[in-house]
Amino acid sequence: MFTATLLTNPAAPNLDRALVESLRNAWGGGEAHWLAEGEAAEFPLAIKPDTLWTVWEDLQKAHVDLVLQPTEGRRKKMLLADMDSTMIEQECIDELADEAGVGERVKDITARAMNGELDFEGALTERVGLLKGLDESVISRVLAERITFMPGGKALLATMKANGAYAALVSGGFTAFTAKVASELGFDENRANTLLVENEKLTGAVGYPILGREAKVQALKEITARLGLAHEDVLAVGDGANDLGMLGLAGAGVALHAKPSVAAECDIRINHGDLTALLYIQGYAKSDFVGL
CATH number at residue 18: 3.30.70.260
pLDDT of 84 over the 90 cut? yes
Name the band, by pLDDT with cuts 50, 70 and 90, for residue 292.
Answer: confident
In a domain, 118, yes or no: no
CA proximity to 16, closest of 43, 39, 33: 39
Low-confidence winner among 108-122, 162-176, 242-256, 272-286 (lowest mean pLDDT):
108-122
In a domain, 48, yes or no: yes
In a domain, 197, yes or no: no
Provide the domain count of the chain: 1
56, 66 in Cβ contact below 8 A?
A: yes
Q: Which residues of 224-249 are buried (b: 16+ CB within 10 A; e: fewer)?
A: beeeebebebbbbbbbbbbbbbbbeb
The two counts, helices (H) then strands (E), for the chain are: 12, 12
201-206/65-70 β-pairing:
unpaired
Q: How far apart are CA 94 and CA 45, in angstroms?
A: 44
What does the pLDDT read at residue 291? 81
What mean pLDDT, rounded, does the chain reach? Answer: 96
Name the band, by pLDDT with cuts 50, 70 and 90, for residue 221.
Answer: very high
In a domain, 6, yes or no: yes
In a domain, 220, yes or no: no
Residues catalogued as catalytic: 82, 84
What does the pLDDT read at residue 259? 86
Instruction: Return all residues near 43 (Cβ < 8 A) that are at least 6 apart.
Output: 3, 4, 20, 24, 29, 30, 31, 32, 33
CA proximity to 233, closest of 221, 242, 218: 221
141, 269 in Cβ contact below 8 A?
A: no
139, 179 in Cβ contact below 8 A?
A: no
In a domain, 37, yes or no: yes
pTM to 2 decimals?
A: 0.96
pLDDT of 116 over the 90 cut? no
State the residue range of the domain holding 26. Answer: 1-72
Q: How far apart are CA 105 and CA 29, in angstroms?
A: 50
Cα distances from 275 to residues 141, 156, 249, 284, in angstroms, run 26, 7, 20, 13
Peptide bond into 49 cis (omega under 30): no
In a domain, 54, yes or no: yes
List, in sequence order, the alpha helices (H) in the chain: 17-27, 52-61, 92-100, 103-114, 120-129, 137-145, 153-162, 175-185, 213-227, 244-249, 260-263, 277-280
Name the band, by pLDDT with cuts 50, 70 and 90, for residue 77.
Answer: very high
In a domain, 274, yes or no: no
